[in-house]
Structures are given as C-alpha cells and as structure tokens.
A and B are shown apart, each in its own frame.
Chain A
C-alpha cells in the first residue's frame, strides 16, 4: 500500500503550489498515472479521499488520467501505444525501443479557489 505515501507526497505538492498562488483551497487535482507507474488507481483514489480530509485539498476532486505504455521503435520507426505492457515493438517485435510514456506519475493541473478577503 505505497499509495498512501504517494498520496501524501501528492497532497504536499498540491498545497505548496496552492500556497505559492495565495489560493485558499483546491477544488480539483488532475494527475496522470502511467500504466507501468506501479500505482493502482483505485487504491490511490481511496487514499486521496482519506488523506484529503485535513488541509487544503479537503473539497478537492481527484481526476485521474491513465496513460498507456507508449513506445518509439529505433528499428522500424513505430511511434505509439505498446501492446499491453510489453516494451517490444508491436510492429516489428524489436527490443530496441524507447519508452516515451506510461511509466510516470505526474501532477498535471490544479483548480484553485482564491481567498475571498484578499490574499
């Protein structure tokens, strides 16, 4: 259940972004999870709902975008979605591919509410 520690890092990061913008609350958090990022989205959502109760994210909705594994093939030039989690080129089956997406966990966007009585 490392999703709990990932959520803690996520909430900390959201709060520091929000504070730097003098926002009072965060209403939406958008993240991107790669298919090979090692995170289970449903567990992450549960963890977020548990941890957000304290702090600036308590009203926030978590929006998750799941990114499939993306490859670029050094041999045939294929660029696009992998076949499941295999890093072999789906066209020419070459092992000489580069992963261009689907391995990371990123915070993409925050919707912030500003202070009603000044920053």
Chain B
C-alpha cells in the first residue's frame, strides 16, 4: 500500500516502480501521475492536482483572432483607439476623412447613449454603436456582434473606438491589428507612467489637442521619455484637429500600415495568400 495516499497498487494495475510521488511535492501535486485514476475511483474522495497552463482570457483571444480573420477576408485593417474619456477619439474620427482617401467605418463603444455614433453618421461616416451598459471595456465578443452590422467596403479601414478608460481596455484583444492610444494635453504628461499597461500596448501614441499646449504644463519630452521606458519602439505624433497639425502624418501612418498589411498579399501569387483566403472562407461559413 502506498504510504502517501493509502491506495492499493494492484487495483490500479501498476508496478510499485510506476507509482511514485515527487520527492518534496505535496501529495497530489503530480498532475500526470498515476493518481489521475483516482478521479474515477468510486471509493475515494481524494484531491488531485491538475496542471494546466492556460490563458485566462483564452476564449476572448480566440474570438479576437476570429474577428481579425473577418477583417482580413475583406482586406480591412482594424485599429483599436483607446484613451481616457474626453481626449478626442470621436473628434479625431470626425476630422480624419479630410486627410485620407481611404474610406473607414467605426465601431463605437460607450456605456450609454449613441451620441458618438450619431456624431460620425452626421459626418457621413459609417458607425455602429455598442452600448456596454456597465462594462468598462469592449471585448472581442461585443466587437464581433458589431462588425457584422458594419457596412464596409473591401480594402477600407475599421476603427474600434473603445470605452474611454486607460485601464481595462488594455487587457482585451478585440481583434484589431493595431492599437492607437491617445493622450490629450490637458490630461498631463504623467499619464504614460501612471497607466503603463495601456501605453505598453500602443503601436502608436497620439498626443492630442496640441493647440492647447501654451496653456498647460505638458512636456512632450517628458511624455516621450516615459514612453521610451515602457514602449521604446512606438512612434509618437502630436496632433490637433483645430489647427490640423500632425493630422496628415497620422493619415500617412494609417495608410502605410494598411498597405504593408495587404499589398504584399495582393501582389503575391494566389497560393501565397491562401492563409488569408482559406481562413476567410472557413469563418464565413462559421458565421
């Protein structure tokens, strides 16, 4: 009989040499040990340890990958816009069309109201509103529901305007290709160091409302130094929708990123693009 657990070896059809306990591990710590049999043993109510290395948000990540395939099937580049409330995400989208010829649609996330989507629709931009109720972020499932309602042309751009929040949205992949994080001059340059996870996730940081710089003690140098420690390769663009500075540079960044994603595929022989097309056919059938 095993001195650790009291089980009788022959019942489990094992040799003594097979029935081992890890030298110093607590009993039951062997996930793949012979004790797996105990879970189906009707006589014993014993604890067993199961080792799993599993991402906690795995389901969300799988759905996010599914969303990305949806976008890619129509050669759409998707960008997740994140910032605190009021730093200018919707205003940026209202004005961006003056600087780019690529059509774009927007999935809007807010706790309540469809005010943001209404503002964009008034400008002739296709927008779908998601009301999250009390949820402080969008997740891949919410975006999936909305992307099927978005009326987008092949080769266009989709923006997901996340719930205004510098904390929670950082933990959720919503199925976009790039994350753009906005920081407005009135918020202060210390926000980057205060919200490291969000700024670590950024592929591009936009410093917005730069026309207000003379009235605030925002140091762009300090902001860039803080970003350097967290995310040294992210570009920073200073913009203002009022005087237009940086807007063309932002539009060019979007276009370059979009082209880099799909032009290589477009010029390659058909078979080389099968990763996109095969996936898209598959997902189109799924939903």
Residues of A within 8 A of B (CB): 1-2, 5-6, 9-10, 12-13, 17-18, 21-23, 27-28, 31, 36-39, 85-88, 95, 103-119
Contact = CB atoms under 8 A, between A and B. Distances in A.
Given A17-B52, A87-B231, A108-B52, A9 B57 contact: yes
7 contacts: A9-B58, A23-B39, A36-B200, A85-B200, A85-B230, A107-B52, A117-B42
Interface stretch (B12-20, B43-51, B151-159, B183-191): B43-51
B228 A104 contact: no
A39 B171 CA distance: 8
Contact of B39 (A5, A108, A112, A117): A112
A101 to B, nearest CB: 12
B168 A9 contact: no
B114 interface: no
Interface in B190-207: 196-198, 200
B168 A109 contact: no
For this complex, into which size category does the number of interface residues on chain B fall? 35 or more
B48 to A, nearest CB: 5
Nearest to B171: A38
Top 5 A-B pairs, shortest CB-CB distance:
A95-B232, A2-B168, A38-B197, A118-B42, A86-B229
A12 B232 contact: no
Looking at A38, A39, A88, A117, which has the most chain B CB atoms within 10 Å of its CB? A38
Interface in B216-236: 228-233
A63 to B, nearest CB: 11
Given A37-B171, A38-B171, A39-B171, A6 B48 contact: no
